[in-house]
Chain A
Amino acid sequence: MRLTLFNVVVAVIIAIAFAAVNAAYLVWAERRGAARIQRRPGPNINGPFGLLQPPLDGIKLMAKQLTIPGGADKILFIAAPVLAMFPAIMSFVTIPFSENIVAKNMNVGVLMIFAFAALGSTSLLFAGWSSRNKYAMMASIRAVSQTVAYEIPMLITTITVVMIAGSMDLMEIVHQQSGSILSWNIFPLFGRSHNILMPMSFLIFFTCTLAETNRAPFDLGEAESELVAGFHTEYGSMGFGLFFMGEYANIVIGSCMTTILFLGGWGCPFGLFPGVWWFIIKLYLLIATFIWIRWTFPRTTIYGLLNLSWKILIPLSLFNLLFTAGLLKVF
């Protein structure tokens, strides 16, 4: 496919639309799921099953006034919510949903996605710093220390997968896992590595994704019982809306990456009819697990969070990296 202006514009529009629709309806799914777990119906008044709730919420947010607190750093204050949404949308460009559905496949796709994921934490820092609010400041410091701590095991685990696949190309990583469930990176019996510790790697990666996207039980950055609303305390209207959408878009990106790296991308568990539908099924099962986890566990403490990363996840992922390297040398 030639790279023309038309192609680029269409790809960007589709990426933004996909991210926005996902963000809106994941909020709905989250609220319905939370309600089911707490044995209440959830939003069910606006439209069938409450399906009109997200667009109405969006209209409400857009109709509100954007207030900038006195003494705030205006440029950073306005830039922060945009910066929260932008890396997520950029990451969609290189994610392959199937053999053909990919905007621009790159041979350093993994690297690009993690580079943009790292950019996400700067938006939290900008938001906290520019708000001139001590709670927002504390929340952003927490969020950044958390992101830095969890990026390490996440990247080490990703390097493990990259070593097995021998490529940073996301398409290539999925091709390596084609076949049945037994050649996926999570169940490595017939894969290239025969590494029995890969389920642990999957758990580490999934936990890090939870922490990277500031989701419960790791949502220390917006611990409302301690820090009002965290880094977006001073944001109203669509500024808050963008942070919210960015969070859900990041969840989608995280689930896409987990699917590609560990669950065989668009491959079928039985080796039949590979296609985009399998990708979508895996993606939304993972997102459902995100929601399920959020409404199961209470928030951890900041010490517990950092201890989990530095004392457990980093040593285990480093060990697994070494182990995989050894196995790849032997087999």
Chain B
Amino acid sequence: MVAYFSEIYYGLISLLEGMVITFKEFFKPTVTVSYPYETLPMCDRFRGHVELIENEEGQPNCVVCGLCERACPSGCISLAGEKAEGEKKKVLTKYVLDFTRCSLCGSCVEACNFNALTFSKEYNLASRRKEDFIFDLLGRLEERNR
């Protein structure tokens, strides 16, 4: 008999405790970000698609060694370069990333010895067309510098 009433009593108390918690939460400020109108900066270790790093003159650091192309397990990267007359180093002429196949493993960034590749912070990448996911990274670099 005592157990019956104490169960009712303590059950009621625990219910009221729960309601006090939600009552307090009701008056606290919201913690969410209203996304399309506000965005948060992406964290340092966020992996977007890869991006070329530029030097002080605005040219890519890339020396067209092709290590990233070989490191990529899905074959997303295709790049080309040419050696101009009288120059020592090769110059990048084409760097295309096929993002439809990329799994963001980061092997290309790891493989690069010349600090030429990094992860971008891009995440608004929705599209209806497949072609939108084939990125011309050199073009993006030029666009950034314009």
Give the interface of A toward B (CB within 8 A): 33, 35-41, 44, 203, 292-293, 295-297, 312
Contact = CB atoms under 8 A, between A and B. Distances in A.
Given A297-B15, A312-B8, A292 B31 contact: no
6 contacts: A38-B25, A39-B25, A39-B31, A40-B30, A44-B34, A295-B22
Contacts, number: 37
A58 B32 CA distance: 27
A319 to B, nearest CB: 12
Given A40-B32, A41-B30, A295-B22, 4 more contacts: A36-B25, A37-B25, A40-B31, A296-B19
Interface of B: 8, 12, 15, 18-19, 21-23, 25-32, 34
B32 A37 contact: no
Contacts of B30: 35-36, 39-41
B23 to A, nearest CB: 7
Nearest to B32: A40
Nearest to B24: A37
Contacts of B34: 41, 44
Contact of A37 (B8, B22, B31): B22
A198 to B, nearest CB: 16
A240 B145 CA distance: 55
A41 B12 CA distance: 30
Nearest to A298: B18
A40 B32 CA distance: 6
Nearest to A41: B30
Contact of A292 (B12, B23, B27): B23
B7 to A, nearest CB: 9
A41 B31 CA distance: 9
A41 B22 contact: no
A292 B8 contact: no
A36 B26 contact: yes
Contacts of B31: 39-40
B32 to A, nearest CB: 4
A293 B22 CA distance: 9
B38 to A, nearest CB: 11
Given A292-B23, A312-B8, A39 B18 contact: no
A41 B25 contact: no
Contact of B19 (A36, A44, A293): A293
A271 B4 CA distance: 39
B103 to A, nearest CB: 32
A86 B27 CA distance: 37
A150 to B, nearest CB: 17
B4 to A, nearest CB: 8
Interface centre among B15, B18, B29, B30 (most CB of A within 10 A): B30
B129 to A, nearest CB: 28
A292 B32 contact: no
Contact of B32 (A41, A293, A296, A297): A41
Nearest to B28: A39
Given A41-B30, A41-B34, A292 B25 contact: no
A44 to B, nearest CB: 8
Contacts of B28: 39
Contacts of B8: 312
A314 to B, nearest CB: 13
Q: List the 5 shortest-distance A-B pairs measured between CB atoms, nearest first.
A: A40-B32, A296-B22, A36-B26, A37-B22, A39-B31
Nearest to A35: B30
A295 B22 CA distance: 8
A210 B70 CA distance: 65
